[in-house]
Amino acid sequence: MKHRLCALLLCFALALSLCPDVLAAEPESVRVAVIDTGISTAVIAAENLAPGYNYIRYIRPQDSTEDRLGHGTAVAGIIVGSEPAGVTGICPDAVLVPLVWCSVDENGDTVKGKTDMAAQAIYDAVDVHDCDIINLSSGALSDTASLRKAVEYAESRGVLVVSSAGNANESAPEAVYYPGAYDTVLCVGSVDENGESAAWFSQRNDSVDLLAPGDGLRILTAKGTRIRGSGTSYSTAFVSGAAARLLTEDPSLTAPELRELLTGTARDIGPDGYDIDSGWGVLDPDAALARLLENTSFPFADVPEDAWYREAVEYVHRNGLMKGVTDRSFAPDDSLTRGMLVTILHRLEDEPAAPASGFADVKSGAWYAEAVHWAAANGIVGGYGDGRFAPNDAITREQLVVMLYRYAHYKGYDVSGSADLTGFADVSNISGYAAAAVAWANYKGLINGTSVSTVMPQGLATRAQASVILTRFFALTAK
């Protein structure tokens, strides 16, 4: 049984790498394994299908992955749609891989594989068929080691597993189905036709992550006709389709990020937050996509929306002043280095060339070298007086405002005005060379005291603090 906490980790980014000499390849379609009864090639378009495997061929060796029961085709139609049947899918660009573990024997009786077979299909979906998502619109009442390990393996390889909660709420409300009940599996129940509560047949327990349409649907048959059908199997397909749609937009999304996007944007229909009837709420594919697109433009997961420095980080990121330490991390509490700040200022000037500065610790070819040479040539930096610039030293608050003060002089900005700093108990800690700059910066509102009595000139400036100071500086100079 699983107990999920609502994680607000919904900040995601597109990691773009541009090379002007090489044409970008067409992105590969998201591949979804459909572990089911097969898929009808007469109903689902060839471009939406990839070769799969029939695990119960020992019963009918001549069988392919054609659907002899219709269930897998109904699932496939929800995910990708069917042009012959006039059905639009959730993600029409996805490619489905049919992995058959349920079919009929020579007598027409239904034959379904055991959990070991489902486990093998999961391994093959990952290793053989290179799938991004695994849709398993079925479940077993027993927690078996083989199935659990297969699910763990899929998670370790970054593959999202989506499974159904079960349809036995009236006859066996206590039943819990696997793999849906495993922590890393998105377990899907059905919402009723009105969209206001869990459907009468849908299991209610703490394995349920969210609900999706599944009550009184018009579903496809293996012949391409449409019939009425209900079940969490179909709800599962809606979620797999929504996940595929997100991955199509951003292929870098991880399985945990997909789960958080889908559950975090679900429409809550029960008590606030999670409840065992409806999980986190009803699937909202459009809201999930909107959240993804919103967060793509601001990629840093470690900068909360309510952080005091959020707007400043957005500004410096949007204007190319500061980058993340990784594609998805800004590291707001890390220190800004001296080399980083001169690089920011140099970038603002379109990176002009300058003669070598002569600093012994600024090696030719270093990422900050040209910026340091430029800053030294224009009187923005002077080093430590011993032949060193120390580009990798964490910058202090006074050093930061001194560089901005000198840069303002260089640009011809107004640097008049000076605050009385004698009210700060640590005013004596301000270095002589920095006194005018700190007084000017405080007067202009670029830096304030870290408390009512301290300005902490020797304190290290974090990346968050630097982003705020830079934002204030450029707002000031824009006037």
The whole-angstrom distance between residue 378's C-alpha and the CA centroid of its chain comes to 42
CA–CA gap between residue 50 and residue 26 (Å, rounded): 18
CA–CA gap between residue 473 and residue 437 (Å, rounded): 13
Question: Is 233 an annotated catalytic residue?
Answer: yes
Question: Is 3 an annotated catalytic residue?
Answer: no
Question: Is 71 an annotated catalytic residue?
Answer: yes
Dihedral angle of Cα 345, 314, 27, 96, to the nearest 10 degrees: 160
Residue found under tokens 């001194």: 402
DSSP string, 268-326: --SSSS-BTTTBT-B--HHHHHHHHHHHHSS--TTS-TT-TTHHHHHHHHHTTS---SB
DSSP string, 158-178: T-EEEEE--S-TTT-TT---B
Strand-pairing partners, residue 136, are 163
Integer CA distances (angstroms), 119 to 114, 164, 297, 448, in order: 9, 16, 38, 60
The whole-angstrom distance between residue 274's C-alpha and the CA centroid of its chain comes to 21
Q: Of the listed 40, 67, 71, 124, which one is catalytic?
A: 71
CA–CA gap between residue 435 and residue 449 (Å, rounded): 15
Q: Of the listed 163, 233, 235, 357, which one is catalytic?
A: 233
Going by the DSSP 8-state scheme, the letter that residue 365 receives in this structure is T
Q: Of the listed 29, 36, 207, 346, which one is catalytic?
A: 36
The whole-angstrom distance between residue 335's C-alpha and the CA centroid of its chain comes to 26
CA–CA gap between residue 23 and residue 224 (Å, rounded): 40
Active site residues: 36, 71, 233
